[in-house]
Chain A
Amino acid sequence: MTLVRHLAAAVALGVLLVIISVTITPFRDYQMAEVACYVVAVAGLTTLVGLSGQISLGNGAFMAIGAYAAALLLLHLHWNLAVVLVASAVAAAAGGAVVGVAAARLRGPYLAGATLMLAVALPSLALRFGVLGGDQGLTVVVTSPGFLGSAFPVTRWQAWLTCGCALIVLVLLANLARSRVGRSWRAAGDDEVAAALAGLNVARLRVLAFVVSAACAGLAGALLAVTTSIISPDAFTLTLSIALLTGAVLGGLGTLPGAVWGSLVLVLVPTYVTDTASSHGLSSSAGSNIPVAAYGVVLIVVMLAFPNGIQGGLRRLGRPLAARLPARGLPWRRDPAPQLHVPAGEHQEEGSI
C-alpha cells in the first residue's frame, strides 16, 4: 500500500535526520531547520505548478500570512505550538482559497502577473496595521519543550520540529499526488478541455491546488517564525516568492524529491556564496546580491538546458538502476517535460483579432 511505503520511507529518513542532527554543530542544525522550512513551502509550490499547472509568484505572501499568524498567536494567545502550526496553515489556506477563486479563470501570464502583484502588494499591509509590528516586525521567543530536558539545545529542537513537519507534509503530498485528486490535477493541467469533458470540475480542482500550496506555505512561514524568531516585512519580499519558484524549478517541477534538492540549494548556496564573496573582499551588498543574480541565472539556464531540473537529471542517470529496483514510493514525474500545456482555446485567437 502506498501510504505504508511512504510512511516507512519517512520514518527511515526521520531516524537518519535525528542521528545527523545530534552529530552536527548547532549552526548546521539551524541550517537544517531552514532547509526543512523551505522544503515544506517548495513542496507545496512544486505541486501547484508541476501537477496542477498553475504558476504562482505569490507564495511568499502566503508564507507571510502563516508567519504573522503564528507570531500573533504565540505572542498574544500563548497557544500550544502544534495548534499554532495548524492554525497558521489554515489561515494561509484561507488566503489561498481567496486567491484561488479569484484566479480560477486566469491562465499563464495573467495568473503569473496577478500573483506577482500579490507578492508586491501584500507586504505593505504589514506596515499599515500597528499590531503587525510595522517595519520592525514581531519577535517570537522559542524554547525547547520541557519533556526534552532543560539542557536540550534549541537549535536541535528546531531541526527536529521542522524536519518532522517536512516529512509529514511530504508524505501527505506524496499520497495526494498518487490519489484521484493528484491524477485529476495532472489531467486538468495537461488538457483542460478534455478534463472538463471527462467530468472533472476544473475550477474546483484549481482552487484546491492553490489551497494546498498556500497551506504548505503558511506552515512553512510559521515554522520559519519559530526558527528565525523575527518576522518582518523585509523577510517576505518578491525575492522570496521567486526563490521558492527557483527551488521548485531547479529541483524539477512536480517532483517531491526535487523540492528537497531545490531547498538544499536555496539555503546552502547563498550562504556559501556570501561567505566566499566577503572573504574575497566584496562589499556586503554585493555579496548579498550574488544569490539573487544566481537565482536568475539558475531559472534561465534550467529552463533552457535542463527543463527537468536536478530530479530529472538524476532520473536519467538512474534509469538503468531503477529498472532493477522495485518501484519507489515517492511519485516520479511521468512525462518527460514539466511544462504547462495550454488549453486548446488559447492559441487560436491569434488570427481572430
Chain B
Amino acid sequence: MSEPTALAVEEVVAGYGGVLALQSVSVTVRPATITAVLGANGAGKTTLLRAISGVVRPRQGRVLVGGQDVTGRSAEDMARGGVAHVPEGQGVIAELTVQENLRLGAFWRSGRATRAGALAEAYQRFPVLAGARNRAAGTLSGGERQMLVIARALMSRPRVLLLDEPSLGLAPKIVSQVMELTAGLRESGLTVLLVEQNARSALSIADQGIVLNLGKVVMAADAVTLAADVGLRKHYLGF
C-alpha cells in the first residue's frame, strides 16, 4: 500500500532557549520526490531538518513519517526508524576510517549478511570510497567527505533522507556531481528533503520547494514555478 505522503510537518514550532527558529511551519512531501528547502541564513532551514530528525523537539505541532506520528522521538530512534539526517558540515567522524564510518551507518541493522551487503553496495556505488576504505576519514577531500556521509546515510536503508547544505564549501564541479547523485537517489524511491543556500542547483533537481524566511514559510510551490519567479529569486534566493 503506497502512502500518499512520505513526510508531513504540521504547524511545527521549534527553537533554542528563548529564540523561536520555526514559527508554525507546515510541509507535505510525496514519496520518491526531492523537496528543496530554501532561504537565507538563519531562516530556520536547519532547524526544520532537526525538528524532523529528532535532534530538536517541537514545542508545538506534529511530524509524521509515512503517516505515523513520530513527534518528539529521539534522534537515535528516528535514525533507526528510517529517517537519515546528513547534518550541515557533513558530520564525518574524522578519527575513524572510511570503512568504520560506513559501518556506523548500519551497525544496528540485524543480520550480518544484511550489513555486509549494504557495505558492498556502498563500495559499488561509490568506488572512490572503496579505494580509501582504510584511510582516516579526516584525510578525505571535501567532495569525498560528502560522498562518504551520503553513502553512510544510505547504509541504513532510509525512507527519508535529510540533506543539510551538501554543496557548502565544494567546488562547482563537485557540487553538480553531488546534485546528480542526489537526483539519482530519487530514482531508487528515496524521499529527499534538501536544504540549500545554493538555490539554483537545488531547484535544478527538485520537484517542489518551500522558501523559509525568519521561521515562516513564505512560499511553497513546484520547482519550476519557484525558479521562474524573478521577484522571489531576488528577494530570498539570491539569483
Contact = CB atoms under 8 A, between A and B. Distances in A.
Contacts of B95: 353
Interface residues of B toward A: which range?
under 10
Interface string A321-343: 00000000000000000000000
B6 to A, nearest CB: 33
B95 to A, nearest CB: 7
Contacts of A352: 94
Give the interface SS of chain B, mostly helix, strand, loop or mixed.
loop
Nearest to A353: B95
Nearest to B93: A351
Interface residues of A, number: 3
Contacts, number: 3
Nearest to A351: B94
A353 B94 CA distance: 8
Contacts of A351: 94
B84 to A, nearest CB: 21
A353 B136 CA distance: 12
A353 B96 CA distance: 11
A74 to B, nearest CB: 58
Interface in B79-107: 94-95
Nearest to A352: B94
A351 B94 CA distance: 7
A352 B95 CA distance: 8
Nearest to B89: A351
Contacts of A353: 95
B85 to A, nearest CB: 18
A260 to B, nearest CB: 35
A351 B95 CA distance: 8
A307 B139 CA distance: 43
Interface in A295-353: 351-353
A352 B94 CA distance: 8
Nearest to B92: A351
Nearest to B94: A351
A28 B95 CA distance: 62
Contacts of B94: 351-352
B93 to A, nearest CB: 9
A349 to B, nearest CB: 12
A309 B159 CA distance: 51
A66 B94 CA distance: 51
Interface string B188-217: 000000000000000000000000000000
A351 B89 CA distance: 12
B183 to A, nearest CB: 31
Interface in A186-231: none
B173 to A, nearest CB: 27
A351 B136 CA distance: 13
A24 to B, nearest CB: 52
A186 B94 CA distance: 37
A336 to B, nearest CB: 15
A137 to B, nearest CB: 53
A157 to B, nearest CB: 56
A352 B136 CA distance: 12
A113 B94 CA distance: 30
A309 B90 CA distance: 43
Nearest to B95: A353
Interface string A34-61: 0000000000000000000000000000
Interface in A153-183: none
A288 to B, nearest CB: 47
A10 B95 CA distance: 59
A143 B90 CA distance: 75
A170 to B, nearest CB: 37
A352 B93 CA distance: 10
Interface in A117-140: none
A208 B60 CA distance: 51
A240 B197 CA distance: 59
A337 B94 CA distance: 35
A299 to B, nearest CB: 29
Interface in B88-146: 94-95
A268 B95 CA distance: 53
A348 to B, nearest CB: 13
A348 B94 CA distance: 14
A353 B93 CA distance: 11
A351 B90 CA distance: 13
A353 to B, nearest CB: 7
Interface of A: 351-353
3 contacts: A351-B94, A352-B94, A353-B95
Interface of B: 94-95
Nearest first, the 3 A-B pairs at minimum CB distance are A353-B95, A351-B94, A352-B94
